[in-house]
Structures are given as C-alpha cells and as structure tokens.
Structure 1
Amino acid sequence: MRVSVSRSLEPVDARVRLAISRWPADAPRGAVTSFCREHEISRKTFYVLLARAREKGPAAVLEPQSRRPSASPAKIGEEVKRSALDVRAALERSGLDYGPISVHDKMTSMGFTTPSIASLARIFREAGVARVEPKKKPRSAFRRFVYPAPNACWQLDATEYVLAGGRTCVIFQLTDDHARLAVASHVARAETSKGAVTVMEKGIARHGVPQRLLTDNGAALNPHRRGIVSQLVAYVSTLGVVAITGKPGHPMTQGKNERFHQTLFRWLDKQPLAGTIEELQHLVDRFDVIYNTERPHQALPGRSTPQQAWDATPKAPAPEPDPDAATHPGATGDAVRIVRTHGDISIRGTTFQLGNEFAGTQVHAIWNPALIMIFDERGTLIIEHPWPQPGTRYVGNGRPRGSAPRRRPLSPMS
C-alpha cells in the first residue's frame, strides 16, 4: 500500500533520516517501533520518509521538504492587484480618500473581487504607493464621543482658502455630530459673524433647529469667555439653541470639523482653482453632495454614508424658543444696516444711537421681545438695550447727543 506524503512532518535529525533511507526490507518485526521510540519520532513520520526513499531514492529523504502548499486558493491574482491599484489611483485623482478601507468599499460597490483590507494594505506597500507607519495609533485606540441623534448637536467652524490670484476667503462648514452630515456650507470674504449666521440660517432651513451648537472661541463664533456676546450666539439663543465651546487651546473638541476641512481641501486640490467666491461656493456645494451621499464614512457604523446615518435615526426634537416670541408675532428678527452720518440706525420705527465713530459702517441687529443687540462687522457687541416701549422713537447710547464738547486749553497762569 502506498503511503501518502505529508507536508507537515515533525523535525527529524539528519542522522535519523539517513538511517531510514537505508532501512532494510527484511527488518525484523517490532524493529520500527523500537527505532521510533529510541529516536523520539512518530511511526507516521517514519513511514512517510521510508515511502519517499523507496519512491524517489535515498537522497530525497536527507533534506526536509518545503512545507509550502502546492496550491493556494486564497492567493491574490495579479489581475485583482492591478484592479486594486487602479481603483486607488482613481480615488486619488478625484480627491477622495484612497486608503485600504476606501479602496475596499469602492471595489465592493463596483462588483470587483475584493481582497481584505489587510491584503490591500500589503498590496499597496509592495507596489510602493503606501508607506508603513508603525507609530500611528490603531483605530481601536481611539475613543469617540457621538451624540445619540441627528440635530442633537451641530459643529461649526471656518477655514481659510486662497482663490485664483491670491485672494483669500473663508469657508464656513456646519456638520452634524451624530451623522457627520454636511448640514450647510457658506463661502464668505472673511470670518465674520454675518457669515456664521448665514450658514446657520442655511442649515436650519434645510434640517430644522438643533439642540446645541459647538464652536471654537473665535470672535465671529462664540467669544463668551472674553465677556462678549457674539451675533451668532444671540441669534441661536432666540431659537432656544444652547451655544457651547471647546476649551481654549484644545482643538480636539472640534476634531470632527477639523477632519472635515482636510477632506474638503483634498477634494478641492483636484478641482480647477476657483476664481471667485461664487465659483468656490458651487464647488463646495458639489462636494457636500458627494460627501453626504456617495462617500462611505469610516467613522460611521457599517461605513455608511452620512445621509444613510442621518436617515437611520429620528432627529432630536427642536428646542423650545423664547416663549415671549410666540405671543409677539414679528418681535423676533435680525437686520443688517449701514450706520447713518449721525451715527444712528432705525429698527422697526425706532432710532438707535450708536456713535459717530460708526458712521458709514455695516452693523447687524438681533432682537427679541425683551432685548435688542447690535454688533459690528466682526461680531463684537456695540450696544444692548431692553426692547423699548411701544411708541418710543429714539434710544440713545448713554452719551450726550452731538459731538463731545471741546476742552478749552489750560491758561499758562493756571
């Protein structure tokens, strides 16, 4: 009977192999058992080596054979490797993420034979298009905090961008903490409170009022730590939104938005350079659609898209606005005004005096039934007044009307 050759033999000393290759055909009964016990090998190993010697000759027994399997069904073919590299290159050219996870998801969605994520990482390293980063923390080391539902918290941040010709502008990006949805984006000439309010108005018109708004401590967003009430905070407060900020010098609190900026810039770098704010707004709006509906997000369960994550969970209920606003229709609002020559503006039939130093500048007023606040272009509070009684036509700024009196020079004799 022919003995099958095993590829997983135990290690055998060379002298034992030589003795087996010379084993006599007329060895007495029990000799094999005694030989195996003496040299501490199994009878199976003995007979496998003996069969090999008789089939291929004594020399075939003297050196261990390779344990590598003769066939590897799981081996990745060259065609699959080329497909993986092509998909990676296409994602890179389009400005989207092109790591192993992104390539895996894209190949799966395209119906390709898809290797595992670890295999893709190895393919990219072997092809020289990726590098090993042993100091990089594994994903399992990160602990993420996520609000339980859409609209429970939005994050707002602004980042600077350079247009063709070297002109700078600012992109406000508003995202939902739970679903990572790009709620709204707005391109402005500078980081002002007016731009921040505009992007909030866009987001609320599309998705409703959030319960919280997380920003940094910038002057245009939420400088309350400096004792300043910004135009943005005043606006969202009238809607019942709780404005919160991260710790100064601790940008990781707004890390989701910071990462969102990186993804946007990577995509914009692969697009034609925008020459105007309007052109850049068009590009950013197109990116938001891709980000929300086409690009699987690696931080979401099942690597779903932000839109899928948004749709999967009911939205958090909108906060309760100021109760007085419901009983005074039209008593809550905001308006932009140019300060007149004498340093005043008019709001709903009442003139508010700001000061001659503000003449010709643009200001933003926000009011509710109890209070009116007026801010300059940078979002700094200029004046704050209780809302005047019906019929009030003029509200001063606490200083005498007209120019400040001239101070007479002191007499040399004084």
Structure 2
Amino acid sequence: MKKNNEPIDARIRLAIAQWPDDAPRGSVTAFCAEHGISRKSFYAIRSRARNEGQTAALEPRSRRPKTSPKKITDDLQEQALGVRTALESSGLDHGPISVYDKMASMGISPPSVASLARIFRQHNVARAEPKKRPRAAYRRFVYPAPNACWQLDATEYVLTGGRKCVIFQLEDDHSRKAVASHVAEGETAEAAITVFTKGVAACGVPQRLLTDNGSALNTSRRGWEAKLTAYVITLGVEAITGKPGKPTTQGKNERFHQTLFRYLDKQPLATTCAQLQDQVDEFDRIYNTERGHQGLPGRMTPQQAWEATPVAEPPRPASEPVEPVAPDPHVPDQAPGPAAATPSSDLDLSTLWEKAVSSSSASSQSIPAPEKITGSIHTLAATGHQHIRVYANGVVSFAGTLFSLSRVVANRIIIADWDPERIIFATTIGEVIAEFAWPPPGTKYQGITKARYRFQNKS
C-alpha cells in the first residue's frame, strides 16, 4: 500500500489503463500487491481510462473539495485587514486576538484567530517572531483579589524639544486596572507619593505595593528607607520589591509601559506635562473600559475584572506615623580609605561588638575622618534630633566628633537625639543603638566602650 497518501506513479497508471479485459483470474490482486496500491485505486483508475480516455487516467485528480462553505471570502479578508489598520492607527493592540474581539464587537462574524494570523502573514502585515515563546509556556501569577497588591513603576518619555519627563503608572495586580497615572518632570519621591495618593483616593488602600529598587520608590535593599516606603507604612501597606536585575517580577507593569507607548506614539507629541497627562488619562480610560485584556479570563476589560471579585480588605494603619526619611546627599556612602572587611555570617552580634570594641582602642589618627556634618557641640540647639547616615565602617560623624557604633548599622540612616547631657543614636523605628555622654570639647573620636548603653544581641 502507498503510505502517507502518496500519488500513484504515472507508469503504474498507464499499465492499469492498458489492462486487458481477458487478464487471468487473480492477476489484479497480484499486480496491486506488487506495486503497493489498493484494489479500489486500481479500479478507479481503470474506470477513468474507460470513460475519459487513457490520457485522463495518467494524472491524479485534484483533491480540492467542490464546495467550501467555510472559505474566507476576499471581502472578509479585506474587513479583517481594515480593522487591523484602524486599531494600529489608534495606537491599540492589533494582533489576531485583538482584531477578532474588535470584529465580534462590531457585529462581524470573524474568522478564527489562527485564520486571522494566517491572513496577516499572507499580506505581509504581521511580524514573524519564530523564537517567541508560546503562551502556554508562561506561568502566570496573580493575586486573588483587587487591592491585594499594586504595582508601581516609572518610565521616561520625551516631550517636544527633546525635553524628558517621567510617567508613573500604578496598576492593580489582580484586575490589571490602571489605578492611577502621574506625569512628572523627574523621577522623585514626591511624584511617587502623588500617584499613590491618587490611587488611594480612587480605589482605596491596597494591602501591598510592589516596586523595583529605584531611589524614588523603595530603597530597603540599599539599607535606608525611602519617603514612599515610609509613607505607605503609615497606611499599613506592605512595601515589597523584586530582586535587583529581575524586572520580570514587575512584568505586568513593564508590559503596561509597552501598551502605553504604543498608544502615545500615535498621538500628537505633547509640549507640556499637562498635555501629556491628558493623553495618559484618556489611555487609562480606554485601557480600563474598552480594551479587552488578553491576560484576563474571557479577555474581559480590567474594569470588569475589578468588579467581578470583591475588593480585598484594607490593611490596618500603623499605630504611630512614621516620618519619611531620605539620605543626606552631601554625606558619602562610606568613609574614605580601605573598606572594612565584612563580618562573617556565622558570627553573632556580640562577637561583632567585641570586634568594634577592639578596633575603637586604636588612635584617632588611624581612623580616616569622613566628611563631617555641619555644626558642633557649641552651635547645636539645646535639644533636638537629626537624621544622619552611618559610614560603612560603623562610624558616624556628628557635631565634630566621630562616634563608633557598629557595622550592623553600616550605611543606614539613623536618628541622633540629644539634650545638654547626652546624645542617643537610634534606628528610625526607635531602637536605641548607643547612648553617649557629651565628650569634652575638641574630642575627635569616641569609641563604643565610652557609651553608657550600647546595642547587644539579647538572644
């Protein structure tokens, strides 16, 4: 038998067409077995040779069906191409799925998504991406309810004249709803807080806020607390970040930027931040209410997904407001000179303090003096507090004196609180690090052994 539906050779067809009528019994079966064809094919070719002539029997007939009720007409193809062109000129998604949904919403019976993809390839309007992973290969993660987690990120955009601005986009992880957007002149903590407050006013307080590790968003992995982080903590929001160099953690927001840019590229170039804000607000409206989202069940709109599930309960606010803390840009990240060795992870805190004690016995000339904060013991107010940064070697400079604390708090922002008799160094959450009596005038260095109280590992 012929395999894989292969056509029968012309020489075999000619032998069948010339088959004699008085051939002996069993010769047909032997001929078919020898050439690997069926008896049905043998008699079909012989019948064509009798009725249409031997020439007609030498070539196989077309297997194309006589009628194709589901054939995509040329008019339907033109309609699909027109819808795709309209979506593309509007700055909206114009792939096969988007075209299918748009045609269905217009009352047009669309071809299948696969057929639309084939039509676009045939007309050379689709970009071939053979290396792109199929949708089934992605593992999608989503929070169970709206307001369970928001994603916040910022992206640059260029106005007329080459002037740059920043667009903050706040998106709900569950419903993909554009919670709020804000156009600012730069990526600052104040702008980040502004877009978050706009989102809270529109949709309530979320349980979590996911950002990257930008200086205007969340710097907890850098060892100090950003203004946005301190602000959301006062509302009870858990501030979380992705690992550095892993933007896929914020993948929903990164993809959100791409959709926004596709829309803005088809709009008139804005000259001011206010004009760009109007365009972004219109995009958010279309994105939330008109554009079906391919990442949602049934390709519903983000607003429909928001309304389909009860909103997560707001978190409990912090009992005491936390003052936002930002690092002093004039204070270096570490003292000049060779960096101190990082303590081994298997040492407990008491061992670290013993090392700090032994290092503090060295002379003051052996410790390189970092840049000092303006002020001295004679010019400070009688009482007060100030945010300062600890150097990488666990030393802090305050009022003209170097105070040795601990490498446990290296590179962090702490609070210095003083009165006429003593000075206390504490973390931003109120945990006392060390308490010193005011040193004699002219003292350049105070070791940790001079402290009245110092942090110890209590475990």
The Cα of 1:28 is off from its aligned counterpart by 6.8
Structure 1 residues 185 and 72, CA gap change in structure 2 (3 angstroms): same
Q: Which amino acid aligns with 2:38?
A: S
Partners of 2:10 and 2:156 lie apart in 1 by 72
> Counterpart of 1:55 in 2: which secondary structure?
helix
> Counterpart of 2:183 in 1: which secondary structure?
strand
Look up the match of 2:78.
Answer: 82
Partners of 1:283 and 1:13 lie apart in 2 by 67
> Counterpart of 1:165 in 2: which secondary structure?
helix
Answer whether contact 1:124 1:130 (CA < 8 A) is retained: yes
Partners of 2:225 and 2:23 lie apart in 1 by 101
Look up the match of 1:311.
Answer: 307
Structure 1 residues 78 and 333, CA gap change in structure 2 (3 angstroms): same
Look up the match of 1:115.
Answer: 111
Is residue 265 from structure 1 mapped to residue 285 from structure 2 by the alignment?
A: no
Is residue 160 from structure 1 mapped to residue 148 from structure 2 by the alignment?
A: no
Structure 1 residues 382 and 282, CA gap change in structure 2 (3 angstroms): farther
Structure 1 residues 39 and 275, CA gap change in structure 2 (3 angstroms): closer
Q: TM-score, normalised by structure 2?
A: 0.67
Stretch moving more, 30-39 or 211-220: 30-39
> Counterpart of 1:173 in 2: which secondary structure?
strand
* Among candidates 44, 47, 66, match of residue 43 of structure 2: 47
Higher relative contact order (CA 8 A, sep 6+): 1
Is residue 188 from structure 1 mapped to residue 184 from structure 2 by the alignment?
A: yes
* Among candidates 222, 229, 232, match of residue 228 of structure 2: 232
> Counterpart of 2:214 in 1: which secondary structure?
coil
Partners of 1:133 and 1:10 lie apart in 2 by 33
The Cα of 1:127 is off from its aligned counterpart by 1.0
Cα deviations by residue, 1:299-347 (Å, 9 ceiling, x for unpaired): 111111111111111111111112x36xxxxx7999xxxxxxxx9xxxx
Structure 1 residues 93 and 245, CA gap change in structure 2 (3 angstroms): same
* Among candidates 49, 53, 59, match of residue 57 of structure 1: 53
The Cα of 1:13 is off from its aligned counterpart by 4.2
Answer whether contact 1:10 1:45 (CA < 8 A) is retained: no
The Cα of 1:55 is off from its aligned counterpart by 1.5
Cα deviations by residue, 1:239-296 (Å, 9 ceiling, x for unpaired): 1100001111221211111111111111111111222222111111111000011111
Look up the match of 1:402.
Answer: none
Structure 1 residues 166 and 9, CA gap change in structure 2 (3 angstroms): closer
The Cα of 1:42 is off from its aligned counterpart by 3.0
> Counterpart of 2:109 in 1: which secondary structure?
coil
Count of matched residue pairs: 337
* Among candidates 243, 246, 256, match of residue 247 of structure 1: 243
Q: Which amino acid aligns with 1:46?
A: F
Q: TM-score, normalised by structure 1?
A: 0.74
Stretch moving more, 107-116 or 260-269: 107-116
Structure 1: stretches of 5+ with no match in the other structure: 1-7, 326-330, 335-342, 344-350, 356-380, 387-404, 407-414
Look up the match of 1:150.
Answer: 146
Is residue 14 from structure 1 mapped to residue 16 from structure 2 by the alignment?
A: no
Look up the match of 1:68.
Answer: 64
Partners of 1:201 and 1:109 lie apart in 2 by 36
Partners of 2:34 and 2:130 lie apart in 1 by 48
Is residue 210 from structure 1 mapped to residue 222 from structure 2 by the alignment?
A: no
Structure 1 residues 114 and 222, CA gap change in structure 2 (3 angstroms): same
Q: Which amino acid aligns with 1:166?
A: G
Structure 2: stretches of 5+ with no match in the other structure: 325-374, 376-382, 388-411, 418-440, 443-459
Structure 1 residues 66 and 140, CA gap change in structure 2 (3 angstroms): same
RMSD (CA atoms): 3.1
Structure 1 residues 117 and 188, CA gap change in structure 2 (3 angstroms): same
Structure 1 residues 238 and 385, CA gap change in structure 2 (3 angstroms): farther
Partners of 2:274 and 2:226 lie apart in 1 by 27
Answer whether contact 1:9 1:45 (CA < 8 A) is retained: no
The Cα of 1:202 is off from its aligned counterpart by 0.9
Q: Which amino acid aligns with 2:116?
A: L
Cα deviations by residue, 1:353-409 (Å, 9 ceiling, x for unpaired): 879xxxxxxxxxxxxxxxxxxxxxxxxx988589xxxxxxxxxxxxxxxxxx99xxx
* Among candidates 136, 140, 147, match of residue 136 of structure 2: 140
